[in-house]
Amino acid sequence: MTKPRTARIQDLLGLLHGAYPTALAEDWDNVGLQVGDPTAVVERVLICLDPSEPALLAAAAADAQVLLCHHPLLFRPLRTLTPKDETGRLVWRAVRDGIAIISAHTNLDRGRDGLNDWLASRLGVEQSLPLGAGESALLKLVVFVPTGYEEQVAQALFAAGAGQVGAYDHCSFRSRGTGSFRPGPGSDPFIGSAGQVERVAEIRLETVLTRALQSRVVERMLKAHPYEEVAYDLIPLANQRREVGLGRIGRLTVATELGLFASTVRDALGASHVRLVGDPGRAVSKVAVCGGSGASMLSEAIRQGADVLVTGDVKYHEAKQAQSQGIGLIDAGHFHSEQLMVAGLACRLRQAASERGLAIEFREMTGEQDPFHVI
């Protein structure tokens, strides 16, 4: 059995962004490493919802080198860095205690097997798909490989993350043809001789990748390819990624009443209460969810025929819109609709670290509470 190897923060970022690429984040968001040295060794990570003083104290008590949060600590550039304001105080403490701070926010919300998938699953919503539009930054990679070497190149591409189409992986298309070339002076051709035209039986190998993976995929491809000079094309695609996007929409196994489903949501998320818009006796089968502040997805939920949208931070006029358009709306609160990310992300990263042979322990923050109290 291979002994797990020492990991650095940049290895942790590789695990995190391999699953939830930064390209998935909203333009206004700030995800990734916010405080810390990417080359520093990491043995233990504490995962939490919010970057806070209690979270940093818990990380220090656990001897964790990284605090991995859902909500970013830094949204805008700092004009000053002093311990006199909350953000500065937290940065000051993190640096002093040698604790790096990383955020996985809207990239985790939009990603496959991310927060909204976990929320849908927790509420019994099955066969769910993204409610909002997916990331469109897709590329088609076409590379020409001499016959007999196509499999080693394909496996290198797949190992780098190419070939993912929805719930399928290792996706490619292959066709046969003839390649021609004439090696120039000073070349060292894999096939043929300098100055002579060669015609070689080749395989046209096609696959798909996200733009975020482009550098890694091309690097792995070039390393695995036998040719000195590799002919390949990267073609931008207009296709939408159906497996990623904001929110999720799916169906309950058994239809229920809106009031009963609201109680299910409350209990499943451990909330003391939820706010409900709509007739408690109406039938509910098709359910949309969006963790955090997701009322902006209301119109899309209506367009796709959802019976109810479960989210948080619902405002009065959004509730009136739902009421007038005949869709149920359950406000479970920002905290309670997102706190399940702690356990979900810890589970996903433990598996990824094990697969990569990295010696990183992931711990889950306990004791975080909704800042609101109901009187």
**Least confident residue range of 21-25, 59-63, 280-284, 335-339:** 21-25
CATH of the domain at 127: 3.40.1390.30
Are 51 and 66 found together in one domain? yes
pTM of the entire predicted model:
0.83
Are 276 and 127 found together in one domain? yes
Number of domains observed in the structure of the chain: 3
Are 151 and 127 found together in one domain? no
Domain boundary among 204, 237, 270: 237
Are 142 and 224 found together in one domain? yes
373 lies in some domain: no
Using the CB atoms, write b or e for 234-256: b if 16+ within 10 Å: eeeeeeebebbbbbbbbbbeeeb
Query: How high is the pLDDT of residue 58?
Result: 97
**Least confident residue range of 99-113, 179-193, 260-274, 293-307:** 179-193
Confidence grade of residue 136 (pLDDT, cut at 50, 70, 90): low
Are 268 and 328 found together in one domain? yes
223 lies in some domain: yes
Are 254 and 216 found together in one domain? no
Q: Which residues are 173's β-sheet partners?
A: 206
Query: How high is the pLDDT of residue 134?
Result: 64
Are 127 and 275 found together in one domain? yes
Query: How high is the pLDDT of residue 205?
Result: 97
Concatenating the DSSP letter of every residue in 207-268 gives EEEEGGGHHHHHHHHHHH---SS--EEEEEE----TT-SSSEEEEEEEEEEHHHHHHHHHHH
Are 194 and 279 found together in one domain? no
79 lies in some domain: yes
User: How far apart are the C-alpha atoms of 109 and 113, rounded to whole Å?
Assistant: 9
Are 325 and 360 found together in one domain? no
CATH of the domain at 145: 3.30.70.120
Are 127 and 261 found together in one domain? yes
62 touches 84 (CB < 8 A): no
User: How far apart are the C-alpha atoms of 265 and 23, rounded to whole Å?
Assistant: 31
For residue 228, give its domain range. 138-237
Q: What percentage of the chain exceeds 70 in pLDDT?
A: 99
Q: What is the pLDDT of residues 43-70, one digit of tens each?
A: 999 999 999 999 999 999 999 999 999 9
Crossing angle for the helix pair 341-356 and 115-122, nearest 10 degrees? 120
Q: What is the pLDDT of residues 302-318, one digit of tens each?
A: 999 999 999 999 999 99
Are 176 and 264 found together in one domain? no
Rounded mean pLDDT, 318-329: 97
Are 226 and 144 found together in one domain? yes
